Structure 1
Amino acid sequence: MRSVKTLLAAGAATLISSMAFAADMPIAAPPPMYAPPPPADFGGWYLRGDIGMTNQSAKRIDSVLPAGFQATNVGVGFDSSPLFGLGVGYRFNNWFRADLIGQYRGKANLHGADNLVGPGFVGSNNYGGSKSEWVVMANAYVDLGTWWCITPFIGAGVGGSYNKLSGFRDDGVQILGGPPVSSVTYFADKGQWNFAWAAHAGLAYKVNPGFTVELAYSYMDLGDAAPGNFRAFDGSISGPSTIKVRDITSHDIKLGVRWDLNSPPAYVPPPLVTKG
């Protein structure tokens, strides 16, 4: 009996010793958690693109008239035209950003007339042609807060607009002061740079951290435009043009997108089970 008790006591002592030894063994550290690599350091840079439609007008069409003549503009304006823009910008903080854009504004048909009155003369000049622009502009925007991923904003811009008149013509009609006479005068295509400025307002929707969609309105002041040298249809007269289309403005509606270049890469969790 004593031998059995001795054997049990020795076994218990061995078990306790083994448990104490196991308790003293260091516990292996857990594997490190996955951490995504740091994002590329692009600062707050972004790219942008825009498409839209213009709604343009002009204040008047000026021309040099003979002494004693007066002209009254009638129906001066333009048809709508498409616009396309690209740009690069920088976000300085959560509410202020700026960008530099280049914009092409497609050909818009020009229409308008002058009613002419002079000594013993009543007639009209009917104008036609088309106009297009290249615009380079620096803009600054203030974001007014975000609600349900929608951010209203306002902004302003300054730059230059290259206004080009193409296919410009003057169809003149003499109504009083002799027998009715019609004439057609053609003008060469011509473009010129003008100071331009704009005011902006719109709504931005953040689709994901790196992609934003905008619906925006812009008021654009594009300056003046003028055709090139003129020539009568019968070659009877020719020379430099004295016609100017004054104070061209436009109400634009645009759909834009912005791609943030500093958005972090997508998080990819480690596999739950590994082999090997």
Structure 2
Amino acid sequence: MAAPRLPAARRPAARPAGHGIAATALLGLLAATPPAAAQFVSGPYIAGGAGVNLVPDTDLNLDSAAIFGLGRAGYGASGSVGFDPGFGGVLSLGWGFGNGLRAEIEGNFRSNGVDSVSGVAGWAASGVAAGRQDSWGVMGNVLLDLGIFGPVIPYVGIGAGYVVTDWSGVRGVGQDGALGFRVNDSDGRFAYQGIAGLAFPLGFAPGLAVTAEYRFLGTLQPQLQARFDNPTTGAPVARGVVEPDVFNHSLLLGLRYAFGQPPAAAAPAAAAPAPNRTFLVFFDWNRADLTERARQIIGEAAQQARAQRSTRIEVAGHADTSGNPQFNQVLSRRRADTVAAELVRLGVPREEIAVTAFGETQPLVATADNVHEPQNRRVEIVIR
């Protein structure tokens, strides 16, 4: 015999699932703001760098006057000069076009001490040597940023311009002390260069980036006045022009600042998943049909599923402890199937609904056996 009809809902019609709220809170605490996205330079910028400059051994080509004089003295007419590692620095003003292409005007300076003078008159590298090679000039460069790879922007470039090569106090004396070589002269020539570098934009300062570069700079052979003499008497043996090869390998660290750059757009944060929602539908004793209030609750659940774009809805049936456990298991399944059918009628795809039945094994309110408890006669709808 059925008990008098009880109100369908003794609890709130819908409530957030406790574990869903906890999961959402944890995701919010652990979510980190993604780093600001790097951008190509757009508009004017200034850049500078300094570091090590390496000059390979330089071959000396002597003109006809020197060759004639050295030939009369019985000496060879060619040689080489070696250099210590030195300093290189550049300063640039440029313009970025916002698509990775950049153009700039560069001023540069390089300086290396002389390590050895050899070759002329069969000198060995241990011959006495001194002096410096300095160079300074102006270059026009075109550079291309190759892409944005996280926090790094690699780039390459080429340049052309005019560089003055200055040999100051460059001299050498052979091991036998029989011949001295001296150059104090400078000459400017067409210059060319290749550039490869990496830029590391600094997120805390829009427009500012650290740069690391390799630069190769070469010039056409300068013509430098040279003198070959007897280091003891000072008597000239020959005069003429030497034409050294000029090649530089520079490793530079620097800074680049682009004016007026907007703050980098932060990558959009991933939206936190919507919290799980649980709806409770209550049933009369020994019944599996829906009351009007139960249909309202199921309608709210269907609406939430559509708004949340749910991909899984769990429908679980329950029963109180009155009656036979096997009968209660079947009854809880009938209740769950009834709720699932109503959800389908309201437009929820059946394949998104998972139906389970727990009988009297998971009471909402703990009771003794064979107790009529309205809150245990329920179906729980969980929207994930």
The answer to whether TM tops 0.5 is yes
For the residue of structure 2 that corresponds to 1:132, the secondary structure is: strand
Partner Cα separation in structure 2 for residue 72 and residue 186 of structure 1: 12
Report the counterpart of residue 272 of structure 1 in structure 2: none
Contact 1:163 1:224 survives alignment (8 Å): no
Percent sequence identity over matched residues? 26
Q: 1:72 to 1:189 in 2, by over 3 A?
A: closer
For the residue of structure 2 that corresponds to 1:244, the secondary structure is: strand
CA RMSD of aligned residues (A): 2.8
Q: Please, which of 81, 85, 88 is the counterpart of residue 90 of structure 2?
A: 85
Larger Rg: 2
Residue 217 of structure 2 corresponds to residue 220 of structure 1: yes
CA displacement at 1:124 relative to structure 2: 3.2
When the two structures are superposed, what TM-score results if normalisation uses the length of structure 2? 0.49
Report the counterpart of residue 158 of structure 2 in structure 1: 156
Partner Cα separation in structure 1 for residue 76 and residue 220 of structure 2: 24
CA displacement at 1:184 relative to structure 2: 4.8
For the residue of structure 2 that corresponds to 1:66, the secondary structure is: helix
Partner Cα separation in structure 1 for residue 215 and residue 71 of structure 2: 40
Partner Cα separation in structure 2 for residue 256 and residue 70 of structure 1: 44
Q: Please, which of 100, 107, 110 is the counterpart of residue 102 of structure 1?
A: 107
Matches within 5 A, 1:179-218: 182-185=177-180, 187-208=182-203, 209-218=206-215
Q: 1:59 to 1:107 in 2, by over 3 A?
A: closer
CA displacement at 1:189 relative to structure 2: 1.7
For the residue of structure 2 that corresponds to 1:183, the secondary structure is: coil
Partner Cα separation in structure 2 for residue 101 and residue 141 of structure 1: 12
Report the counterpart of residue 255 of structure 2 in structure 1: 257
CA displacement at 1:229 relative to structure 2: 5.1
For the residue of structure 1 that corresponds to 2:119, the secondary structure is: strand
Report the counterpart of residue 17 of structure 1 in structure 2: none
CA displacement at 1:62 relative to structure 2: 2.1
CA displacement at 1:142 relative to structure 2: 0.9
Partner Cα separation in structure 2 for residue 257 and residue 147 of structure 1: 19
Q: 1:115 to 1:107 in 2, by over 3 A?
A: closer
For the residue of structure 2 that corresponds to 1:224, the secondary structure is: coil
Write 1 or 2 for the structure with the bigger share of helix: 2
Q: What per-residue deviation string (whole Å, max 9, x for no partner) do you get for residues 81-111 of structure 1?
A: 1112211000012210011111111233242
Question: Structure 1, unaligned stretches of length 5 or more?
Answer: 1-42, 117-122, 175-181, 267-276
Report the counterpart of residue 248 of structure 1 in structure 2: 246
Partner Cα separation in structure 2 for residue 109 and residue 236 of structure 1: 24
Partner letter of residue 100 of structure 2? W
Contact 1:88 1:99 survives alignment (8 Å): yes
CA displacement at 1:222 relative to structure 2: 2.9
Report the counterpart of residue 11 of structure 1 in structure 2: none
When the two structures are superposed, what TM-score results if normalisation uses the length of structure 1? 0.66
Q: Which runs of 4+ in 1 moved over 6 A?
A: none
Partner Cα separation in structure 2 for residue 211 and residue 112 of structure 1: 44
Q: 1:251 to 1:229 in 2, by over 3 A?
A: closer
Matches within 5 A, 1:95-174: 95-114=100-119, 116=121, 123-124=122-123, 126=127, 128-172=130-174
Partner Cα separation in structure 2 for residue 259 and residue 163 of structure 1: 30
Q: 1:93 to 1:255 in 2, by over 3 A?
A: same
Partner Cα separation in structure 1 for residue 223 and residue 168 of structure 2: 10
Contact 2:60 2:242 survives alignment (8 Å): yes
CA displacement at 1:161 relative to structure 2: 1.1
Q: What per-residue deviation string (whole Å, max 9, x for no partner) do you get for residues 99-143 of structure 1?
A: 111111123324231154xxxxxx538554320110211111111
CA displacement at 1:203 relative to structure 2: 0.9
Matches within 5 A, 1:6-85: 44-63=43-62, 64=67, 65-66=70-71, 70=76, 73=79, 76-85=81-90
For the residue of structure 2 that corresponds to 1:145, the secondary structure is: coil
CA displacement at 1:155 relative to structure 2: 0.7
